[in-house]
Amino acid sequence: MSTDLTHLFTRQQRLDVVLPETISVVGVGGIGYWVALNAAMLGVDKLVLYDPDTIENHNRNRLPLAEEDVGKNKALVAREYVQRIRPDCTVFALPMAINEISMAQLDGFVFICTDTLSSQGSVRHYCVENNIPFLRLGYDGRHLTMENRETMDGVFSVEDEPDDTAQYTIIPSYVLTPQLISVIALTLCDMNVWRGFPARKPTIDISGNIFHIGQAILSGEIFSQELRYPDRLSNGVQMLGPNGRRIRI
């Protein structure tokens, strides 16, 4: 049955949303799933999704998945859900580990959402070497990180697993955090902070706790000074870090 998509974006046309035509998402088990789904709903034309893992029941506490999705490949499931909403969106699902061969398929803006340091490092290195814009997105419970450093130094540490096989644990996990990170990440794209890339490479380094952000909103501190971006073409963005201080991007 054909689907009429004529009026799908009627309500956001006046927003003049600016997003890359193509987005690659490496790791679609949590944040990456929301990035892919939200990007498709915002009108991105092409998605490239990487993930060798399968859906487990604990994934369903933060993703809108059905019980029958358990055991299926994450990239294939993400493609299925995206195309239920956007059958006109081109989605390549790569149910494989990221490596030198599969990285050749990376296209457009890259979101690094994997849960191992080794895969994050290899994709980061590939993007830096090939002048590809990227963001690494991560979270642990209510704490979020978002950065595009050229090296992994100081990104985070895992005391009990100090080598490059370090990986996030299954818990803690909170349903709101990956959604919030995906919205912020796509908003940065919509603000066009990568305008002029690669000559202009904005440095993103955000670390925060959603309770701290909520506390700042309740106290009014988030509005304590004039915002630096009256529109998306401005050169500055400000957010709050875990200590309540402002982080300039």
pLDDT of residue 15: 79
CATH 3.40.50.720, domain 18-154+166-209, yes or no: yes
What's the DSSP call for residue 111? E
Whether omega before 172 lies within 30 degrees of 0, making that bond cis, reads: yes
In tens, the pLDDT along 130-164 reads: 999 999 998 877 778 899 988 875 444 333 333 34
Question: pLDDT confidence of 221, banded at 50, 70, 90?
Answer: low
Q: What is the dihedral of CA 142, 185, 201, 96, to 10 degrees?
A: 90
| Cα–Cα nearest to 190, from 8, 29, 38, 86 | 38
pTM for the complete prediction?
0.82
For the chain, give every domain's residue range: 18-154+166-209
d(CA 72, CA 33) in angstroms, rounded, equals 14
Unique residue bearing structure tokens 């006109």: 88
Residue 5: partners with Cβ closer than 8 Å, 6 or more residues away = 86, 87, 88
pLDDT of residue 92: 96
- Which of 89-93, 170-174, 236-240: highest mean pLDDT? 89-93
